[in-house]
């Protein structure tokens, strides 16, 4: 029985969205699992009381007296608040009493606490937040999604391996194609760090590295020159493109709705809007730590929480962490020093 | 009479798209202007021969024997090929024999040649390519669009001033709001360069600086927290977001077309697709040089060339360069050293 700890205090709409999402997951996901709600018991109980019909047989409550706010400095907050829902939830897993953790709270704090509490796999230099971009067909993994603003070339190479294992395990792509996000396809394009990363990636074993890709190659479509499954970039670029894409999708839908409101009622178009909905992917896994930690958007809907739980279950079921450890154990000692 | 020099040899579809665009501009734009086609005369004549009805009274041909290819290293190519269409076209303007230059050729070469031949305005540290993002309503200016991959904080501040003057002169916005592209709105967010740029921008006179903005704030729509007219970023991020946006627009239209082909036939939707079409903006001005230099996409259509000529005419008519010179002359001497 998989145990998923959910930070009940984290998101902008906590605990309402979290509790509703957890109940949807328990009712709707096929896997056998229990949810461990982590937070202030009385607040959780009060929210659960709004759902009198909820099946509580697979629900536990784990008391955590403190909350790390969205604006707090991550590492300092993690150190100062050992009784916060984030630290308590991750510690459960470290102690072997839980299998996965999910939070829509302070992203930096989840990253810092996960790194401190779990540690990194041997050979991993930095943990990364991996975000799936919906495309209407096969989603594309972009990493880093905002956790690491400045990255070295070696760290970018590490992201390529982490993303490859993730796409294989969770999306079932046997041989994911990796691209390095750049301003042009040619060797000499890009900043010094990106040029060095390209050089290193070309020599990296067991990667399907296709080379530099441009902004137009992330999404499928007529403009794409190179198919990619995994796009590697630093977290500054990744975060900006991710948020830009969300807003572009909403702008297109809003424009369509203003000009052809009837059209959005058609099933084929409702499906299209759904395909482009970020909440269908739910959560971004933190890759590289020795544990399962899923980061959800602060404004996550219940559906996003539910789908974040699905991602957590997939990571546990697939043995993602064992595969990441095995992949990095195969890397050349020189690449790990 | 305004004289616009057009690089007839530059783009992926040169000289066909260039000549067709020039003829559309001469027939369709209300301004009084002549076009100076720059390139190999026999190739230009052969292409013009395909348009026997064209009015050649406002067309000149200026011989340039050489072409700088898309893959050539910019500065080296500019130095090695003084008879290239780019160098010849810009030199006409430097000599007072032309008022504006437009090319869909090697962007780096146009940038390098414009900087070398025209020089920069006093106080400008780097020229920048300013790109308009179509939004369906008021376009947003993003700069740098890819000319300067690594930027100092001071250079980013310079882009804010250049973009402000441009939006005032060309788009008629009296008091354009400037945002600094970042991963969050808070002071402490971002890389060291971006944090410093934020600090400097807050203290910069005569700018309507609204602070850090995120990827979701570039486009209008329900997700936007802050209205912006001008978005400042380095050229690495700017180029990636620009190309990503083009491809996202095409992906949405392709998805819509697959699911509701009849809908795209409606006038309101055709207008929507047109509103999001980059070619309606035509060209990206190179700001900061002592001259008018418009950079078009390598794959520019005739419509894009025509609209690039419109941008060139607007820049000349508005006195953009005099206004940029005046703006930078007002800046503190300390900011210029």
Integer Cα distance of A63 and A175 in angstroms: 43
Residue-level pLDDT at A337: 45
Indicate yes or no: CB of A241 within 8 angstroms of CB of B186.
no
Residues whose CB is less than 8 angstroms from the CB of residue A272 and which lie 6 or more positions away in sequence, other chains included = A136, B255, B256, B259
Which residue matches tokens 């050992």? Answer: A82
Main-chain dihedrals φ then ψ at residue A253, nearest 5 degrees: -65, -40
3-state secondary structure of B323: helix
Please give the Cα distance from A54 to A76 (Å, whole number).
37
Kindly determine whether residue B243 and residue A216, on different chains, have CB atoms separated by under 8 Å: yes
Q: How far is CA B90 from CA B14, B36, B82, B118, in A?
A: 18, 11, 11, 8
Listed residue (A156, A147, A307, A168) closest to A229, CA to CA = A168
Question: To probe the interface with A, which of B136, B181, B216 has the most A CB atoms within 10 Å?
Answer: B216
By percentage, how much of chain B surpasses pLDDT 70? 97
Contacts B259 to A, Cβ<8 Å: 266, 268-269, 271-272
Considering only CB atoms, which chain A residues are within 8 Å of B222? 250, 254
Is B145 within 8 Å of chain A by CB?
A: no
Proportion of chain A above pLDDT 90, given as a percent? 75
A142 neighbors A218 (Cβ within 8 angstroms):
yes
Q: What is the pTM of this model?
A: 0.93
Q: Which residue has the higher pLDDT, A281 or B111?
A: B111
Q: What is the Cα–Cα distance from A218 to A133, expressed in whole angstroms?
A: 9
pLDDT exceeds cutoff 60 at B332 = no
User: Cα separation of B300 and B278, whole Å?
Assistant: 9
Token representation of residue B296: 């078009």
Q: How far apart are CA A162 and CA A143, in angstroms?
A: 9
One pLDDT digit (tens) per residue for chain A, 337 residues: 999 999 999 888 899 999 999 999 999 998 899 999 999 999 999 999 999 999 899 999 999 999 999 888 899 999 999 999 999 999 999 999 999 999 999 988 999 999 999 999 999 999 999 999 988 888 999 999 988 999 999 999 999 999 999 999 999 999 999 999 999 988 889 999 999 999 999 999 999 999 999 999 999 987 788 999 999 999 999 999 999 998 888 888 888 888 888 888 888 888 777 777 766 677 899 999 999 999 998 888 999 999 999 999 999 999 999 999 999 998 755 454 4
* Contact criterion met (CB < 8 Å) for B183 and A271: no
Contact (Cβ atoms closer than 8 angstroms) between residue B93 and residue B321: no
CB distance B263 to A272 below 8 Å: no
Sketch out chain B's domains with CATH numbers.
Answer: 1-124+288-318 (3.40.718.10), 131-278 (3.40.718.10)
Predicted confidence at residue A279, as pLDDT, reads 65
Q: Which residue has the higher pLDDT, B49 or B264?
A: B49
Please list, residue by residue across B174-196, b when 16 or more beta carbons sit within 10 angstroms of its beta carbon and e when fewer do.
eebbbbbbbbbeeeebbbebbbb
Question: Terminal CA-to-CA distance of chain A, rounded, Å?
Answer: 38
The answer to whether B240 contacts A237, with C-beta atoms less than 8 Å apart, is yes
Asked whether B41 and B325 are in contact (CB, 8 A), the reply is no
Phi-psi region of A288 (alpha: psi -120 to 50; beta: other; left: phi over 0): left
Q: Quickly count: other Cβ atoms within 10 Å of residue A169's Cβ.
A: 19
Class of residue B14 by CB neighbours under 10 A (exposed 0-12, middle 13-18, buried 19+): buried
Name the residue among A162, A145, A156 with its Cα closest to residue A182: A156
pLDDT tens column, B165-223: 999 999 999 999 999 999 998 888 999 999 999 999 999 999 999 999 999 999 998 77
A156 at the B interface (CB within 8 A)? no
């Amino acid at each position: 029985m998989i145990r998923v700890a959910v930070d009940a205090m984290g998101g902008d709409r906590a605990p309402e969205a979290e509790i509703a999402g957890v109940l949807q997951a328990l009712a709707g996901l096929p896997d056998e699992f229990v949810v461990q709600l982590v937070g202030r018991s009385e607040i959780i109980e009060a929210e659960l009381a709004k759902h009198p019909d909820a099946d509580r047989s697979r629900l536990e409550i784990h008391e955590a007296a403190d909350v790390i706010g969205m604006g707090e400095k991550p590492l300092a907050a993690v150190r100062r608040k050992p009784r916060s829902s984030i630290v308590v939830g991750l510690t459960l897993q470290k102690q072997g009493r839980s299998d996965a953790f999910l939070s829509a709270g302070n992203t930096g704090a989840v990253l810092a606490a996960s790194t401190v509490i779990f540690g990194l796999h041997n050979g991993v230099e930095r943990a990364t937040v991996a975000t799936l971009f919906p495309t209407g067909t096969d989603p594309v993994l972009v990493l880093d999604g905002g956790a690491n603003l400045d990255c070295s070339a070696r760290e970018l190479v590490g992201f390529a391996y982490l993303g490859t294992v993730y796409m294989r395990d969770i999306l079932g792509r046997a041989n994911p194609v990796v691209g390095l996000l750049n301003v042009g396809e040619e060797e000499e394009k890009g900043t010094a760090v990106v040029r060095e990363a390209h050089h290193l990636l070309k020599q990296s074993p067991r990667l399907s590295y296709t080379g530099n890709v441009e902004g137009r190659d992330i999404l499928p479509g007529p403009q794409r020159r190179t198919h990619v499954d995994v796009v590697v970039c630093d977290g500054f670029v990744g975060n900006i493109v991710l948020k830009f894409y969300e807003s572009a999708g909403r702008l297109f839908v809003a424009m369509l709705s203003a000009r052809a409101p009837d059209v959005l009622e058609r099933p084929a178009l409702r499906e299209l809007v759904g395909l482009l909905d970020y909440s269908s992917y739910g959560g971004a896994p933190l890759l590289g730590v020795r544990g399962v930690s899923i980061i959800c958007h602060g404004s996550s809907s219940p559906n996003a929480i539910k789908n974040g739980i699905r991602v957590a279950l997939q990571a546990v079921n697939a043995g993602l962490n064992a595969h990441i450890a095995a992949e990095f154990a195969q890397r050349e000692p020189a690449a790990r020093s």
